[in-house]
Amino acid sequence: MSPPTEPLGIEDLALLDRLPAAARRALLERTVTHSVPAGTVLFEQGVIPTFQHVVLVGAVHLFGRSSDGGEVLIEVVEPPDLVLPAAVLTASPYLTQGRALGPARLLLIEASAFRSAVIAEPALAQVAIASLAGQFRRMVRQIKSLKLRTAPQRVGCYLLELARRQRSDTVRLPYEKSLIASELGMTRESFSRALSALHREGITVGADPIAILDRERLVALARPDPLIDGGDDR
């Protein structure tokens, strides 16, 4: 939802730190750091990956796009996660477009070198497996939320999770409302209606920043579930 306050450097990355010195040097020879401005498209859906992107600073937003131009936000990849390692490891087309909505810094590892290193180095394979597992679990959580909750419940749980991460009942939205609505599986209009429904329940959410004035009532309405919300997948 929001990037960490402390930027990461290459030396902070577990996927490199766990490698033997020789293997780390060999992989770094096929690696570059890349800083991009806001709005940069990193890759298009349908394209075979040429790099394994690793997020150091900022975030990569993954968008699913239809043939008629429709677009939906699927996932937000934050430091220090790998961006779509499933596509890289299988040399398969990306299923989404990757875009940096804000300034970002990335580690770019040549895809072929990354695949070879994963095969040769168990420590790197463990990092890749952990990233894949975390992304799979987040996707299952998202599907459960979409299928089991009403729009107001989804918005309520989203606000509660923001409050937990920001450690405050006055929360700032991490990006514009249309993107949040897309991530929650609704239109901007539905998102606004869900906020209005929360208002009718006596919960003041207002404009950004949003103040949660009656946490107990919001919890009772949204019914957060530890097997859907929060958790250990970030």
129 shares its domain with 14: yes
Number of compact structural domains in the chain: 2
Residues with Cβ within 8 Å of 135's Cβ and at least 6 positions away in sequence, in order, are: 75, 81, 85, 86, 233
pLDDT of 175 reads: 87
Q: Where in the sequence is the domain holding 132, given as residue range(s)?
A: 10-145
Q: Is 211 helix (H, G, I), strand (E, B) or coil?
A: strand
Where helices occur in 61-214 by DSSP H, the ranges are 85-90, 111-120, 122-148, 151-166, 177-183, 188-200
Q: What is the pLDDT of residue 18?
A: 81
| CA torsion, ordered 149, 155, 159, 160, to nearest 10 deg | -20
Report yes or no on 228 lying in a domain.
no
The residue from 145, 172, 199 where one domain ends is 145
Predicted local distance difference test score (pLDDT) of residue 211: 85
Do 114 and 153 have their domain in common? no
Kindly give the confidence (pLDDT) of every residue in the chain, 234 residues in length, as a single tens digit, with 9 standing for 90 and above. 444 445 555 656 878 888 899 999 999 999 999 999 999 999 999 999 999 999 999 999 999 999 888 899 999 999 999 999 999 999 999 999 999 999 999 999 999 999 999 999 999 999 999 999 999 999 999 999 999 999 999 999 999 999 999 999 899 999 888 999 999 999 999 998 998 888 777 677 666 688 888 889 999 999 999 999 966 555
The pTM of the full predicted model, rounded to 2 decimals, is 0.87
Together in a domain, 139 and 207:
no
Give the model's pLDDT for residue 3: 40
How far is it, in rounded angstroms, from Cα 141 to Cα 35?
31
Give residues with Cβ within 8 angstroms of 185, minimum separation 6: 72, 142, 145, 146, 154
Cα dist. 46→91, 152, 214 in Å?
11, 34, 46
Last residue of a domain, one of 145, 170, 199: 145
Domain boundary among 121, 145, 169: 145
